[in-house]
Structures are given as structure tokens and as C-alpha cells.
Amino acid sequence: MTTVNIETLVRLVFTYIIAMMILVGGWQALVINEFELNQLTQGAIIGFMGAAIQYVFGAQIAASTAASTVKALHTPVPPQPSEWTS
């Protein structure tokens, strides 16, 4: 069974909360106020939503990857089959 660090869990929950807030805010601007915005403004909102989501998830992925890399670097490497005969 995989154990999850509480700090990682809290970061993950906040990442999804922020992403949901961005999506709900964008949805509100694009769907509810659809006829009040021109296409340029709608495109800008979609672009900012995409950039914000990419930043939030990119930061979470980078933190997760860094932790996994450090863990992998501190794991001893088992002997390889070519080393068994020597």
C-alpha cells in the first residue's frame, strides 16, 4: 500500500480547489455573460484560464517530480546481470 505524505495531500487538494475556482470563474464569464462579451474578450478569458490551469498543475507536477527524483537518487541500485558473472 502506498502511503501519502500529508503535505503532498494538502498541496493536491489546494491545486484542485484553485483549478475549480478558475474554471467556475471562467464558466461564469463565458456562459452567463455570453452576450455581453465580444469574441476577443472571450478568447482572452479562455487563454488566461488555460494559462492559469497550466501554471497550477505545472507547479504541482514539478513538486511531485522533484520529490520522486530525490527519492530515486537515494535508492540503492541492485546489481545488474552483467555484474553477476564477475
Q: For a pLDDT cut of 70, what percent of the chain falls above it? A: 90
40-79 per-position pLDDT tens digit: 888 888 898 888 888 888 877 887 788 788 888 888 877 7
Q: What is the largest CA-CA distance in the chain?
A: 76
d(CA 3, CA 1): 6
pLDDT tens, 55-66? 888 877 887 788
Cα torsion at 64, 68, 71, 76 (round to 10°)?
A: 180
Report the pLDDT value the prediction gives residue 68, as an integer from 0 to 100. Answer: 81
The pLDDT mean for the chain works out to 81
Distances in Å between the Cα of 57 and the Cα atoms of 19, 37, 42 are: 8, 28, 23
